[in-house]
Amino acid sequence: MTRELSYPDLYRKLRNRFGDLDWWPGETRDEIIIGAILTQQASWRNVEMAIANLRGEGALDLRKISRMRIGRLERLIRPSGYYRQKAKRLKAIAGYIFRNYKDLDELLGKDAEELRQELLSLDGIGRETADSIILYAAEKPIFVIDAYTRRIMNRVYGTDDGMDYDELRALLSGSIKRDLGLYKDFHAQFVELGKEYCRQRPLCAGCPINEACGYFKSLSVDR
Ligand code: SF4
């Protein structure tokens, strides 16, 4: 594995290029959790339309979702795709919270690992969704691994394609100061790099970390 750029230096370079990204795009804890479910297999642009529909109906609220008829919820979130499945998931998580806790804060106030296990036990909540909720809604430092992070790690450091989610998470969090703001922004920086440069077809020429990227170096050698 090529390892010339330390993870803190990677973050510094990205931050210098993209600035403070102020993520996740959501004003309330409810909105962040709803967004984390809606963004599964969907582009954020489509999720925004679904969120705007919910907001327009005053329904960007898990307690309201727990009481809403599923057909109405499906109609509102339709732009996010897989809307039947996502409506069921939203109803399931909202119902779970208010059956078992007095409010959302009580659930999110739990210890991060306990909360993670509980979220993972719910239907349709995988590790990326659970960790996004823990990092951005519960505001506890846990690293989120998404497709962009995985792709960038593969290309820059040569990590294995099939590396397990938690192994990759441990690799990153073991080398970075455990700090909520840093974890939040580091994830956002990965997403920005993935959207702007490290796309499926990468735009390496303008990429802020190309000098340290194993993939880019291998292209230069091949030329
Ligand atoms: S140099 Fe190319 S492959 Fe490497 S991180 Fe940048 S865009 Fe991705």
Q: Are residues 107 and 148 in the same domain?
A: no
Q: What's the rounded Cα separation, in Å, for the pair 173 and 108?
A: 21
| 2, part of any domain | no
Q: Are residues 124 and 151 in the same domain?
A: no
| 1, part of any domain | no
Q: Are residues 16 and 111 in the same domain?
A: no
Q: Are residues 100 and 129 in the same domain?
A: yes
Q: What's the rounded Cα separation, in Å, for the pair 43 and 31?
A: 16
**For the residues of 77-137, what is the DSSP string, one character each?**
HGGGSSHHHHHHHHHHHHHHHHHH-SSHHHHHTS-HHHHHHHHHTSTT--HHHHHHIIIII
Predicted local distance difference test score (pLDDT) of residue 222: 61
- Total of domains in the chain: 2
| Residues 74-129: tens digit of each pLDDT | 999 999 999 999 999 999 999 999 999 999 999 999 999 999 999 999 989 999 99
Does the pLDDT at position 2 exceed 50? no
* Final residue in a domain of this structure, among 89, 116, 137: 137
Q: Which domain holds residue 149?
A: 7-21+144-222
Of 14, 155, 193, 218, which is best to mutate to test ligand 1, by the most ligand atoms within 8 angstroms of its C-beta? 155
| Residues 16-29: tens digit of each pLDDT | 999 998 777 778 99
Range of lowest pLDDT (19-23, 39-43, 75-79, 210-214): 19-23
**Does 198 sit in the ligand 1 pocket, CB within 6 Å?**
yes
**Does 214 sit in the ligand 1 pocket, CB within 6 Å?**
no
Ligand 1 nearest atom to the CA of residue 214, by list position? 4
* Final residue in a domain of this structure, among 137, 153, 176: 137
Q: What's the rounded Cα separation, in Å, for the pair 162 and 149?
A: 13
**Does 204 sit in the ligand 1 pocket, CB within 6 Å?**
yes
Q: Are residues 123 and 46 in the same domain?
A: yes
The protein residue whose alpha carbon is closest to atom 2 in ligand 1 is: 204
CATH of residue 63: 1.10.340.30
CA of 67 to the centre of ligand 1 (A): 46
* Final residue in a domain of this structure, among 137, 172, 200: 137
Q: Are residues 129 and 177 in the same domain?
A: no
Output the six-digit token pair for 114. 């306990």
Q: Are residues 38 and 129 in the same domain?
A: yes
CA distances for 203 relative to 3, 67, 122, 162, 196, angstroms: 21, 46, 38, 24, 8
CA of 197 to the centre of ligand 1 (A): 7
Q: Are residues 99 and 149 in the same domain?
A: no
Q: Are residues 132 and 150 in the same domain?
A: no
Q: Are residues 41 and 133 in the same domain?
A: yes
Considering the chain, what is the average pLDDT of its residues? 94
Ligand 1 nearest atom to the CA of residue 197, by list position? 7
pTM for this prediction: 0.93
Q: Are residues 55 and 110 in the same domain?
A: yes
| Residues 150-174: tens digit of each pLDDT | 999 999 999 998 899 999 999 999 9
Closest-CA residue to 142 (of 104, 105, 162, 115): 115
Q: Are residues 84 and 162 in the same domain?
A: no
Cβ burial 55-71 (10 Å sphere, 16+ → b, else e): eeeebbbbeebbebeee
